A and B are shown apart, each in its own frame.
Chain A
Amino acid sequence: DAKTTQPPSMDCAEGRAANLPCNHSTISGNEYVYWYRQIHSQGPQYIIHGLKNNETNEMASLIITEDRKSSTLILPHATLRDTAVYYCIVRGLLIQGAQKLVFGQGTRLTINP
């Protein structure tokens, strides 16, 4: 599985865009990039995923570089409720279709009022 590298912590002002970077230089051609977030003592929440094109949903945007070696998660208008640990995951398959999510340390994002 490709490993990911994220900054351990980031701060962002409420109402501004939060841009969370992730490096995954060993990603292979068929691996997807997934983002999850975890608020303290809760289960991780799915945010967005992509293969090579940029993706957008109601929560966030995902920008993947052309060489696919890095990506950026964008929360367009951060709120205090976006304070969480954000995990960037490169996902590979286990045998017979089950997916393997390998979690790193993530980025602790703090939204400041």
Chain B
Amino acid sequence: DGGITQSPKYLFRKEGQNVTLSCEQNLNHDAMYWYRQDPGQGLRLIYYSQIVNDFQKGDIAEGYSVSREKKESFPLTVTSAQKNPTAFYLCASSFRGLNTEAFFGQGTRLTVV
């Protein structure tokens, strides 16, 4: 089946450790995105990429890093510089353009203790 897969679903890390969240899609989409969601809040854009080996900062990029070495994959690293990393992280992908919907993964819930 075509889709977008995030792993793992739940992740626990100790404070001060970097952690990488996986996002893979087999929809042949050019663009991929990472969002963060806090309890009771909407989604906020962290990073996006519209083509391999290129990515741009979103609204809340500080403390995060990404790479886009393959079209299918867009991993997100939450670094120790991120002050409040505990959140629900969502990855999405789409074709480029306005008249095309984005598809979301099922999310990774990161808890830093």
Q: Which residues of A contact B (CB under 8 A)?
A: 30-32, 34, 41-46, 49, 51, 87, 91-106
Partner of A97, one of B31, B45, B104, B109: B31
Pick from A42, A98, A106: contact of B96, CB under 8 Å: A98
Interface residues on B, range: 20 to 34
| List of B residues within 8 angstroms of A91 by Cβ | 98
Q: Mark interface residues in B41-71 (1 if CB within 8 Å of A CB, else 0).
A: 1111100111100001000000000000000
- In this complex, what residue of A is CB-closest to B54? A96
Q: Which residue, of B51, B97, B101, has the highest number of chain A Cβ atoms within 10 A? A: B101
Query: With the chains together, A100 CA to B101 CA distance in Å?
Result: 11
Please judge, given known A-B contacts A42-B107, A43-B90, A45-B104, whether A98 and B50 are in contact too, CB under 8 Å.
yes
Answer whether A98 and B31 are a contact pair too, CB < 8 Å, given A43-B104, A44-B90, A49-B101: yes
Interface of B is mostly: strand
> Please, what's the 1-or-0 string for B91-111, where 1 marks a CB less than 8 Å from any CB in chain A?
010101111111111110100
In the complex, the answer to whether A41 meets B107 with C-beta atoms within 8 Å is yes
A32 & B102 in contact (Cβ 8 Å cutoff): no
A99 partner residues in chain B, CB cutoff 8 A:
31, 94, 96-98, 100, 102
CB of B94, distance to nearest CB on chain A (Å): 6
Tally inter-chain residue pairs, CB-CB below 8 A. 76
Alpha-carbon distance between A31 and B98 when the two chains are bound, in angstroms = 8
CB distance from B98 to the nearest CB of A (A): 5
Q: In the complex, which residues of chain A have a beta carbon less than 8 angstroms from the beta carbon of B96?
A: 96-99
**Which residues of chain B come closer than 8 Å to A96, judged between CB atoms?**
50-51, 96
Q: Which residue of B lies closest to A97 (CB)?
A: B96
Q: With a CB–CB cut-off of 8 A, which chain B residues contact A43?
A: 6, 90, 92, 104-107
Bound complex: CA A101 to CA B59 (Å): 11
Within 8 A of A (CB), among B16-44: 30-31, 33, 35, 41-44
Complex Cα spacing A82 to B100, Å? 23
Q: Do B43 and A34 have beta carbons less than 8 Å apart?
A: no
Which 10 A-B residue pairings sit nearest by Cβ, starting from the closest? A97-B96, A43-B104, A103-B42, A98-B50, A103-B43, A46-B101, A98-B31, A44-B104, A43-B106, A43-B107
